[in-house]
Amino acid sequence: MTLQLRRDRPLLAPYVTGGIRPDWTDYLHEYARNGADAIEIGLPFSDPILDGPTIQEASDAALRRGVTVRGLLDEIAAVDVGVPLIAMTYYNLVVHRGAAEFCRDLAAAGIRGLIVPDLPVDESDPLASAAVAAGIELILLAAPTTPADRLAAIARASRGFVYAVSTMGTTGSTFAASGCRLAADLRQLTDQPVLLAFGIATHLDAVTAARSADGVVIGAALMRRVLDGGTPAELGAVLAGFRKALDEDGPDCVP
């Protein structure tokens, strides 16, 4: 049960904040049904330093509802949506539980990968070992300012795919073409998929990104709709739109 992403189409990985609504796992089903190749689930943390206002708001809302990692994992374990699930959270929640236990808990809930935005490659050894032991993949992030030697190290150490942050900013920032160069550089360094993330809000963004990368992560743009009351079905329809745009391709990446 490793994280093996398909390579036959531009990858589409939508995001949802765990526990944002009581029926939040329905978003997983709808995402899966409407073309997701993997789903990123945010495990809410009180101090999300790489998240912009939208995902901060979503995390706060979920925490106010009283969600816990334990509870979310129980809910996740109870569903099977047919695409790989990836957890995204901050390092304190890992440390608090203990890296080994945390990874085992994820694996037991059926989660295949883990993204920790405040854990750079230099600090990742303990968690990487725990992840290996638990049989989940620790996915690392690269940024537009990452120098070449670090980029190589990240590309080497990341498992499952490489998470390329498109822009110098938080989730929900405006998509920047700098991301296309980063993704292209990364693809020189690894055979694993490279997914571009942060700020992908429109079909044009997604298509642009997918010309340079193997796929995209869409987070804040979806969560904005969820926070505005979008139902699982409505979000499914939104995702279907992205799927279609990606599959049909579109204009070139305008640098």
Partner 1 sequence: MTEIALPRPAASVMSDPGAVGRFGEYGGRYVPESLIPACAALEEAFRDAWADPRFRRDLDRLLAVHAGRPTALTPAWRLSAELGVNVLLKREDLAHTGSHKINNVLGQALLARRMGKTRLLAETGAGQHGVATATAGALLGLDVTVFMGEVDIERQALNVFRMKMLGAEVIPVTSGTRTLKDSTSEALRQWVTCVDEAHYCLGSVMGPHPYPWMVRELQRVVGDEARQQCAAEISTGTPDYVVACVGGGSNAAGTFAGFVDTPARLVGVEAEGGAAAAFGQVGVLHGFSSYLLQDENGQVSEAHSIAAGLDYPGIGPEHAHLKDSGRARYVTVRDEEVVPAVHRLARTEGILPALESAHAIAWVIRAAESGELPPWSTVLVTLSGRGDKDMATLMAAS
Residues labelled as active-site residues:
40, 51
Output 36 or 154, the one with its CB closest to partner 1.
154
Dihedral of the alpha carbons of 55, 66, 119, 117, in degrees to the nearest 10: -10
Q: Considering the rule CB under 8 A, would residue 103 count as an interface residue with partner 1?
A: no
> Among the candidate windows 18-26, 29-37, 134-142, 203-211, which touches partner 1 by CB under 8 A?
134-142
CA distance linking residue 162 with residue 143, whole number of Å: 11
Strands (E) across 62-188 are located at 85-88, 113-115, 137-139, 141-142, 162-165
Which region among 18-26, 41-49, 74-82, 128-136 touches partner 1 (by CB under 8 A)? 41-49
- Tokens representing residue 15 in the block: 């995001």
Decide if 97 contacts 125 (C-beta within 8 A): no
Three-class SS state of 142: strand
**Residue that is written with structure tokens 């990123």 in the block:** 40
140 touching partner 1, by CB under 8 A: yes
Give the span between the Cα atoms of 148 and 71, in whole angstroms. Answer: 40
Is residue 96 classed exposed, middle or buried when 0-12, 13-18 and 19+ CB atoms within 10 A define those classes? Answer: exposed
Write each residue from 184 to 223 as x if it is in contact with partner 1 (CB under 8 A), else as -, in one continuous string: ----------------------------------------
118 binds partner 1 (CB under 8 A): yes
Contact track, partner 1, 144-183, x by CB under 8 A: xxxx--x---x----------x--xxx--x----------
Q: Give the count of alpha carbons within 13 A of 156, CB side only.
A: 9
From 9, 29, 65, 68, residue interacting with partner 1 (rule: CB under 8 A): 68
- Shortest gap between Cβ of 235 and partner 1 (angstroms)? 24
3-state secondary structure at position 234: helix
Tell me the C-alpha distance between 162 and 156, whole Å.
9
Alpha-carbon separation of residue 250 from 31, 116, 203, 254 (angstroms): 22, 32, 9, 12
The stretch among 12-20, 116-124, 199-207, 219-227 that binds partner 1 (CB under 8 A) is: 116-124
Among 80, 101, 123, 247, contact with partner 1 (rule: CB under 8 A): 123
Give the one residue of 49, 78, 108, 237 binding partner 1; rule: CB under 8 A.
49
Among 143, 209, 217, 235, binds partner 1 (CB under 8 A): 143
CB of residue 175 vs partner 1: minimum separation in angstroms?
14
Binding-residue total with partner 1 (CB under 8 A): 45
Token pair listed for 5:
């992403």
Chain contacts with partner 1 (rule: CB under 8 A): 45-53, 56-57, 60, 63, 68-70, 90-93, 95-97, 117-123, 140-147, 150, 154, 165, 168-170, 173
